[in-house]
Structure 1
Amino acid sequence: MGDRANFVLLDGNRAVHGPYVDKYGAVGLDLALLAGPARTVERIRALGPGGYWLDDVFCQGAVLVDLPRRVLLFFAWEGPSTDPRLRAAVFALLREAWPGWEVRWCLDGNADLLRYLGRDPETVRDRDVRPVVAPPLSAEWEVAAEESALVVVTVGPSRSRSRSSSRCHLLADIGDHPATEGPALLQRLDGATDFSHREVAADAGLHLDPERRTLGWWTLTNLPDPDAVPARWPGWTVHRWDDDPARHLAAVPGLFALPEVDPGAARAAVLRAAENDNARRAGRS
């Protein structure tokens, strides 16, 4: 299957070059962008012809560089940009590497690139694929603070200091975001292990308030067609928290925690990862 990514370049005349496909381009995609505009453009120009738009199922990352407008769009399924402990450091380093540029995260994946180009997002939709539900973790799982490929799902009254009727579940982030599942998710979580009052480095989350029939969701990766989520929850009010887990934490004070971030240590960790990624790429060339 590879780790496919799309790349698009708008040159000085705003002529569109691409989409190009790099079969392994999603690996270290965010780290490679730390090399700055010139190196990124060089990498895009080196990709061969015959590209096409990857759909929501197969596109694991994408980059669009608009040279005249100085805009960078990107997203990735994995990497430090999807880790709550490192994401802020990645974006701080990107602002340094791309001075004067607007850097945007594509929450809707490749569809956001198509919108930017004035094209139809349906080009990358695969409406025939059935959602893959993310399995809940069991009580035997003991490394919550060490793993980031997790979804934290909380159930209970919003903004209540009384947590007696609230619970916190952890799902492996190997399926679709649980926000796409609809009310059947509540039944599926009945009897699932309660991980309340744990620290967890989740890369996505969802809060459900069954009494008020409201929910809020967020993700540090992407959620294809986010505007379709409300239709999955008829009679519910859906709040988009995009890539802001702080709003989830505020909705359930004390029910779970994300790891505290040491900005200096996070920056150093990202720079080390970028150095290792550069060495990996040099070994491939």
Structure 2
Amino acid sequence: MAPGPPHARCPPAAGALVGRPVAERARYVVVRDGAWQQHYFRWGGRRLAVDVAEGPEQFGRFVAGLEPVDPGNWMYDVDCEAAAVVDHDRRLLLLFTWHLETHAERLTLFAVLARTWPGWDVRWAYDGLEDVFAHVGEEPESVRSELGARPGGPLHAALPDEPDFTIAVTVTYRDGRQAHAVTGENVADVLAHGPGVVRRLLPATRVSRLSHIPYGGVHIDVPARRVAAWTRGNFLGGAAAAGRLPGWPGWGWTCWYDAHERQREASAGALAFAAPDPAAGVRAWTERLDELRPADGTESEARTALRSVLDALDPTSMECAHDRT
């Protein structure tokens, strides 16, 4: 495992890419005949969703051309921006990426994968690199950084135009319910406070409706001593696979995966999300393909075929990833 100080899921500052490229690290694991091989691509994070969407044959050729990595050489969860496991023995695709900026883009990804990976079990790695590590029989805690266990920081009001850094927090009290929207890079930023988080929610963070689907959400039922959370990214600290949360002794824990609808229902009217626009995800994916097109304008047959899949999508029939867990 490559040592180094943990860092958060932050975009580069303005101008940071000028003269100083920022790595977008991705890991790839191929399982075949009971054995597995790990690969690494320093610049694979942002493009992994597109690469994997081309289907098992094309993606397999792409991964085979990448740098092989010793089985014991991993990295911390916060250093890996995307990963995929292609398990030929079980016909299972397990993946995650930080580079889906909206709920609509996530819907589009799973709609595309349903068509380009027919007959495969497609799953999202809700615990990120820990899920990848566990899939090959290794201890997931080995890639867990200190970030997932750090104390919670200040809970500032979320900015309305940054859904990728917004965490919705709903609370059920004995005498009513409240909803808040705070800035965060992961639901762990809220969960790290423990039950005392309800005393740290400020009036300035109160909301009743969000104009987007946020990055994740936490629902706290104080009288029942239960906490639940969902994310369209991944958890830190193995929360998805955990039976209980550290820092919440005596509280029941439920992982809602990516089911934001569960939070809306639990809030009983305290919080509403704007209806998602699946067509926006198709448009975003088309723009992503345009960005990845070579400078000479040519495009591989696989990319051309992927555009055809996008063109044929019916946005109204797209399903969330939690339907596939």
- TM-score, normalised to structure 1, is 0.82
**What's the CA shift for 1:95?**
0.8
**What's the CA shift for 1:157?**
4.1
Residue 47 (1) aligns with residue 58 (2) = no
Of 43, 61, 64, 2:85 maps to: 64
Output the amino acid matched with 1:55.
Y
Q: Which residue of 2 aligns with 1:232?
A: 247
Residue 15 (1) aligns with residue 41 (2) = no
Q: Is the 8 A contact 1:72 1:104 kept in 2?
A: yes
Of 112, 132, 137, 1:118 maps to: 137
Output the amino acid matched with 2:268.
P
**What's the CA shift for 1:105?**
0.5
Q: Which residue of 2 aligns with 1:182?
A: 194
Q: Which residue of 2 aligns with 1:25?
A: 44
Q: Which residue of 2 aligns with 1:196?
A: 208
Output the amino acid matched with 1:217.
A
Give, in whole Å, the separation in 1 of the partners of 2:219 and 2:267.
8
Output the amino acid matched with 2:107.
A
Q: Which residue of 2 aligns with 1:167?
A: 178
Give, in whole Å, the separation in 2 of the partners of 1:138 and 1:128.
21
**Cα distance change of structure 1 residues 157 and 273 upon mapping to structure 2, 3 Å threshold:** farther
Q: Which residue of 2 aligns with 1:272?
A: 287
Q: Which residue of 2 aligns with 1:161?
A: none
Over the matched positions of the two proteins, sequence identity in percent amounts to: 29
Q: Which residue of 1 aligns with 2:260?
A: 245
Q: Is the 8 A contact 1:75 1:221 kept in 2?
A: yes
**Cα distance change of structure 1 residues 128 and 134 upon mapping to structure 2, 3 Å threshold:** closer
Deviations 1:169-207 (A, max 9, x none): 222233534223312322221444212233332010001
> Residue 7 of structure 1 aligns to a residue in which SS?
strand
Output the amino acid matched with 1:28.
R
**Cα distance change of structure 1 residues 90 and 110 upon mapping to structure 2, 3 Å threshold:** same
> Residue 156 of structure 1 aligns to a residue in which SS?
strand
**What's the CA shift for 1:168?**
1.8
**Greater Cα offset, 174-183 or 22-31:** 174-183
> Residue 85 of structure 1 aligns to a residue in which SS?
helix
Q: Which residue of 2 aligns with 1:209?
A: 221
Give, in whole Å, the separation in 2 of the partners of 1:177 and 1:228.
19
Deviations 1:64-101 (A, max 9, x none): 11224321110112315xx2233222101111111111
Give, in whole Å, the separation in 2 of the partners of 1:39 and 1:79.
21
Q: Is the 8 A contact 1:136 1:192 kept in 2?
A: no
Q: Is the 8 A contact 1:60 1:76 kept in 2?
A: yes
> Residue 123 of structure 2 aligns to a residue in which SS?
strand
**What's the CA shift for 1:215?**
1.5
Q: Say how many residue pairs are matched.
A: 270
Q: Which residue of 2 aligns with 1:74?
A: 95
**Cα distance change of structure 1 residues 135 and 39 upon mapping to structure 2, 3 Å threshold:** farther
Q: Is the 8 A contact 1:84 1:258 kept in 2?
A: no
Output the amino acid matched with 1:76.
T
Deviations 1:25-51 (A, max 9, x none): 211322222111122112211112345
Q: Is the 8 A contact 1:200 1:256 kept in 2?
A: no
- Provide the aligned C-alpha RMSD in A: 2.8
Give, in whole Å, the separation in 1 of the partners of 2:98 and 2:193.
19
Give, in whole Å, the separation in 2 of the partners of 1:2 and 1:228.
34
Q: Which residue of 1 aligns with 2:305?
A: none
